[in-house]
Amino acid sequence: MDNDLESMLLKGAEEFGVRLDKGQVDKFFMYMELLKTWNEKVNLTSIKEDRDIIVKHFIDSLSILPYILPYKNSKSSRLIDIGTGAGFPGIPLKIACNELDITLLDSVEKKVKFLEECIDSLKLSKIKAFHGRAEDYGNNPLYREKFDISTARAVANLPVLLEYCLPFVRIGGIFIAMKGKSSDEVKDSMNAMDILGGKIEIIKQITLPFSDNKRNIIIIKKFRQIPAKYPRKAGKPSKMPLI
């Protein structure tokens, strides 16, 4: 293992209050190797350099952990990562915080096969990957309002994401939207917030360590139940966002 890369991972994680031990660091590097190998045959990520994988995938994913920890209750908290792709932010969160009970969801089956291999090879427990669409799972009583936290990174714009992600969250739980350098989508999201019972709690701009990349972390609290007709059927939220 390259010492510079290891220290980059350790220091970057520490910026967000995350202390990784040797076993956890090993898992991150195993994950990186799997990602690079699978990426040759399945389109998982355009980020290919080790350093970029560490900063833009691993550390970026860990940047939301400080907002998750207050929602950890005495039982293990349940988190669902919608449109997780190659596992971001869900797998780094699992490696860093083993007590979280994590569900990964993505609509592309090959990506889910990759996630299953990661879960197996990294010997991760209390984490499952499912193939399907947020709109369908959000209407399934086994998943609807069953999570303390939902997350999504780089999946859709905020009005669409609210319809994908809030149905999974229990009343009093949160949805964490991981956004790029602009938080402009927030002003287009007021109607969706109103309909879906969400309220912005925090908008925090961060700069990713070892880079000048800016990100916005948007925390939305769910304060009431969502009307039964949401989420609408698959494809509708993105075609006709609740703007």
Amino acid in the structure at residue 210? F
**Residue 207 CB, nearest approach to ligand SAM (Å):** 18
Q: What whole-number distance in Å separates Cα of residue 203 and Cα of residue 142? A: 30
**Residue 153 CB, nearest approach to ligand SAM (Å):** 4
Do 153 and 62 touch, CB atoms closer than 8 A?
no
- Output the CA torsion 30→34→37→40 (10° steps): -140
User: 225 to each of 23, 141, 160, 172, 175, how far by Cα in Å?
Assistant: 40, 13, 18, 10, 14
Q: Is 240 one of the binding residues for ligand SAM (CB under 6 A)?
A: no
**Which residue from 5, 30, 42, 108 is in contact with ligand SAM, where contact means CB under 6 A?**
108
Q: Is 106 one of the binding residues for ligand SAM (CB under 6 A)?
A: yes
**Which residue from 31, 71, 88, 230 is in contact with ligand SAM, where contact means CB under 6 A?**
88
Do 220 and 175 touch, CB atoms closer than 8 A?
yes
Nearer to ligand SAM, 75 or 161 (CB): 161
Residue ranges in 117-176 that form contacts with ligand SAM under rule CB under 6 A: 133-135, 153-155, 164
**Which residue from 27, 78, 94, 111 is in contact with ligand SAM, where contact means CB under 6 A?**
111
Q: Which spans of this chain sit near ligand SAM (rule: CB under 6 A)?
A: 82-86, 88, 105-108, 111, 133-135, 153-155, 164
